[in-house]
Homo-oligomer: A and B are copies of this chain.
């Protein structure tokens, strides 16, 4: 007869039967109780463990259910044949957490997020709260795989008004981020499709395309954007571009180049353009140039937009506008993908837009970013006279060519030594970085505070132009 001596914890939140069950299972799995060992009768165990018969019964039932013990007619319970190699309780070693960067910097120009002080918390709180309505059954259903119809309608209105984009809600697919949209896009096209990407360009994109096992060719840029001749000489049929504020160079593609790219697209039925308008909301003179999608007469442009820059990257709401020909393919092949944005959030955003909060927030942020940008540029021109600024007419970052003879690595290290986190252009190049681009910093100004800018630029000057070594060195 097997010995089972357990002290049940009557104050534990864990039910007694569960404690008993776990204890006996543990004894069996560890081999302390061997195959064919007879377990104490329910009555005996209830007495020794000072619990009720029912408690023992439940524990035994569970062990029988799971095949750890067997009940024999008129005889009692016996340990079953359990393969020893299955040790359910061996403590498994831990993998370190995703290393969230520890080192703190005084100022951070690498931050690609948004201003952290002007998010409309109260309004969001209101709309998200209101979006949870008692007995709103829609909230419990996944809804249209392309996203809430009303939300898509609001997006079409916004895009037409502010970006010259022409579409109807049925062309919109709401998703969670550019990388999720790109995963859908590569499934829309033939598996052998070759993609043209900008070089330098969005660094995640090449990772994503490689991970999705599709072929791509980096295409060089001139000041106007992707170079048409290079594109035409490539194998690519689908070209990914960021015309409103090239990432990372910040160049704005003029109308002539946009038309040239469209002409390339019109040449071959297989050709398409993916227009990623990641920060098209922010342009600092006049109204933004209409998106490629808006001047495309032949349904050749897939437009990608997001609320990451206009609201917050943590919202995880982006969308694409498909040409009608591709909508059909999407519906027939990819409709099984449920929209990843929780219904609560889709409804909240819908409300946020309809109440006019979004437009107001956007105008406010435009002014805020314009102020920061001007302030930053003024400080740089004053403190870093040899440096030249590029790509500053739109978006939330620009480039700074330092021209002090230091390499990118030296520039970054010196800045960091003085408490300023900053990154360079190099990481965005596939292959070699041209000589003249090897001392270029990328300056993201969305999240730095207006009143910190002067001090931050002073530190850059100290890092790059003064001979004295910084205190951290």
Contact = CB atoms under 8 A, between A and B. Distances in A.
Given A129-B125, A139-B119, A316 B287 contact: no
A324 interface: yes
A228 interface: no
A128 interface: yes
Interface string A429-449: 000000000000000000000
Interface string A187-212: 10001000000000000100110011
Contacts of A328: 95
A32 interface: no
A98 B65 contact: no
Interface residues of A, number: 110
Interface in A386-412: none
A114 B140 contact: yes
A68 B129 CA distance: 46
B142 A313 contact: yes
A335 B98 contact: yes
Given A132-B128, A211-B187, A286-B58, A171 B340 contact: no
Nearest to A167: B92
Contact of A342 (B179, B286, B342): B342
Contacts of A342: 314-317, 341-342, 345
A185 interface: no
Interface stretch (A37-45, A80-88, A267-275, A368-376): A80-88
Interface string A42-86: 000000000000000010011001111000000000000011011
Contacts of A212: 187
A338 B318 CA distance: 13
B331 A62 contact: no
A232 to B, nearest CB: 18
23 contacts: A65-B285, A67-B254, A67-B256, A82-B255, A83-B259, A88-B164, A88-B295, A95-B324, A98-B145, A98-B170, A117-B135, A121-B132, A121-B139, A124-B132, A125-B132, A138-B314, A140-B313, A141-B313, A143-B314, A191-B213, A314-B342, A314-B344, A340-B340
